[in-house]
Amino acid sequence: MARELADGVWLLDVGLVPPLATNAFLLDGSEAEAGSERTDGTDGEVTLVDTGLWRNRPSLVGELADAGYEPTDIDRVLLTHYDLDHVTGLGRLLERGFDGPVYMGRRDVELVRGEWDPPLAHHKGAFHRAARFIFGFPEVDLRPVDDGDRIGGLVAFHTPGHNHGHTVFVHEGLSVACLGDLVWEEDGELTPPFWLDSYEMRAIRESIARFDREAPEFDVAAMSHGRPFVTGGRDAIRRLAAEL
């Protein structure tokens, strides 16, 4: 069942069982604190971060309804990266009337468009080539995201390693960081994702360290796998960076 982690920040449980237990997050910028900095005049719009698998229990549409939203209420979708448990649920939204833009890290956009081929000799590169061929990507207004881009009150941080185009999104007004698979939660602490599901572990560690250096303060650490931190999310990033 959908759960409100903080004002305007909803956890949508769109997974099956581990490791396919995946979180998506709905951000409603109209709930940002009065007087917080306005970046582009669109903070009041509704953003969905990641979409889960094409078939989930509970369903993405059902989780949205639990939070009081319909697919047509969503103004944009942000995808932290191209993996099936993050992007293939997009088709369910399209079936229910979503027609807004979809944002994803530039290298992952190039991957799904066939403009860049990951290394065939790499286990995840080979998987992504097969996934791209078998599943394709729906016809949407797909927009590449670069480091530092601002989208509806969120700031993008390019964090390669898990994927070449992996991107974290931070909304200071809502005090939340949507971390994707930059980190996972395990036993109440953060940890990097494991090697079999990633391209380069060293790059992941470097991305965590850079994010720790450059990210603003935030309370909610909203990772895609594990239990989100409702408070103390920024401190959890600091602890992990120090350990690495």
Per-position DSSP letters for 155-213, written without gaps between them: EEEE--SSSTT-EEEEETTTTEEEEETS-EEETTEEEPPPGGG-S-HHHHHHHHHHHHH
Q: What is the mean pLDDT of residues 108-116?
A: 97
* Contact between 166 and 124 (Cβ < 8 Å): no
Number of domains in the chain: 1
pLDDT score recorded for residue 35: 41
CATH number of the domain at 52, please.
3.60.15.10
C-alpha 58/C-alpha 49 separation (Å) is: 17
Share of the chain above pLDDT 90, in %: 86
Q: Binning pLDDT at 50, 70 and 90, where does residue 39 land?
A: very low
Task: Give, in degrees to the nearest 5, the angle at Cα 220 between 214 and 224.
Answer: 90
Range of the domain at 187: 3-243
- Strands in 102-105's sheet, in edge-to-edge order, are 3-6, 9-13, 23-28, 46-49, 76-79, 102-105, 142-145
The pLDDT of residue 54 is above 60: yes
DSSP at 97: T
**Residue-level pLDDT at 31:** 78
Find the helix or strand (DSSP H, E) in which 107 lies. Answer: helix 106-113
